[in-house]
């Protein structure tokens, strides 16, 4: 195995893992854009197929059409990094938005925070029950 083939294998393995991780993060974060969800799923599937073809051996592909398909699938691995960056920045902006209307309750007494008509507050000295 040549150095070029090893580097190519490392690239495909890392892009496959990154695409699966990016899709998982996108799915778990419940970012509800169905077109992008389908695109990220397809990118992850294409990366898995490319990795399987690489592990099977691209030199075993006899047909020119199959070689062309493998090269196109390999080229899709370059879309993984922009997709991951897009998902990551989307998560940062989705979950780290400062809320201007929030109340800083660190210095407020507990009686002012909890509703008095439906809550009984017991101060045990260390914890409010």
Cβ–Cβ contacts within 10 Å for residue 44, how many?
23
Q: Are 80 and 19 in contact (CB under 8 A)?
A: yes
Question: In which residue ranges of the chain is pLDDT below 70?
Answer: 31-33, 92-106, 110-129
Instruction: Please report the pLDDT score of residue 111 as a whole number.
Output: 65
Domain annotation covers residue 117: no
Q: What is the pLDDT of residues 38-48, one digit of tens each?
A: 888 888 888 89
The Cα-based distances of 42 to 2, 16, 76, 85, 103 in angstroms read 30, 12, 10, 17, 43
The Cα-based distances of 70 to 34, 53, 92, 118 in angstroms read 27, 7, 35, 66
Instruction: Please report the pLDDT score of residue 119 as a whole number.
Output: 62
The domain total for the chain is 1
Domain extent for 8: 3-101
Instruction: Please report the pLDDT score of residue 52 as a whole number.
Output: 87
Domain annotation covers residue 108: no
Domain annotation covers residue 111: no
Instruction: Please report the pLDDT score of residue 120 as a whole number.
Output: 64
Instruction: Please report the pLDDT score of residue 117 as a whole number.
Output: 65
Instruction: Please report the pLDDT score of residue 118 as a whole number.
Output: 65
Instruction: Please report the pLDDT score of residue 114 as a whole number.
Output: 66
Domain annotation covers residue 121: no
């Amino acid at each position: 195995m040549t150095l070029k083939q090893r580097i190519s294998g490392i690239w495909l393995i890392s892009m496959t893992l990154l695409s699966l991780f990016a899709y998982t993060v996108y799915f778990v974060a419940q970012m509800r854009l169905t077109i992008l969800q389908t695109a990220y799923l397809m990118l992850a599937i294409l990366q898995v197929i490319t990795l399987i073809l690489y592990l099977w051996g691209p030199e075993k592909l006899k047909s020119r059409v199959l070689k062309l398909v493998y090269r196109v699938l390999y080229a899709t691995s370059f879309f993984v990094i922009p997709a991951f960056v897009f998902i990551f920045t989307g998560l940062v902006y989705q979950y780290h938005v400062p809320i201007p209307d929030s109340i800083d309750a660190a210095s407020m007494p507990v009686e002012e925070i909890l509703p008095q008509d439906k809550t009984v507050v017991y101060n045990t000295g260390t914890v409010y029950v």
